Amino acid sequence: MDRPCNTDKLQVERKIDQLLAIASSLYEVPFKRPAVTWRKSGKNAGTANLTHNRINLNPVLFCHNREAFFTDVIAHELSHLLVFQLFGRVQPHGWQWQKMMEEVFQRPANTTHNFDLAPLKLKSFYYRCDCGPVELSVRRHNKVIRGQQRYFCRRCKQTLIATAEQQAASL
């Protein structure tokens, strides 16, 4: 099941209303209610579109991590939108966002999730360095192939090199 059912969507809307009420009460500001969309967006659990006041939730990750979405992901994305409404463009996970997460929504200000990504069935490409194999997403692999980007190992700082199989497949 990749699409949330109507009851899930209604529960998400209720959670947003609940969080908006908390923030509006504390800041004494009537925040604009965001639209919610459901589309896969790579490995992201959710994204916030600041200019359109919209939250996008990944339906596959939602179905496999419902509780975490209700406790953290929705608050995370809504915090981005509310901070934008209050302060304009600021650092995405800066002190304003952290304060919104921790003090207003009483949630840890985690910037990433650790969900199992296997249900997404994402294609990855293997590169290597002295540390061993490293996976790159299709988007990053295509940037390497087009000569637009080089990627480096986070541990040894070497440039990642496509494995022999990847190089042969790209010809």
Q: Mind telling me the catalytic residues?
A: 77
Q: Can you read off the two tokens belonging to residue 154? A: 């986070």
Cα 138 from Cα 10, distance rounded (Å): 33
Contacts of residue 53, defined as CB under 8 A and 6 or more positions apart, other chains included, come to 32, 34, 35, 81, 85
- In the chain the first and final C-alpha atoms are separated, in Å, by 36
In a 13 Å sphere around the CA of 144, the CA atoms on its Cβ side amount to 21
Q: Can you read off the two tokens belonging to residue 18? A: 């609940």
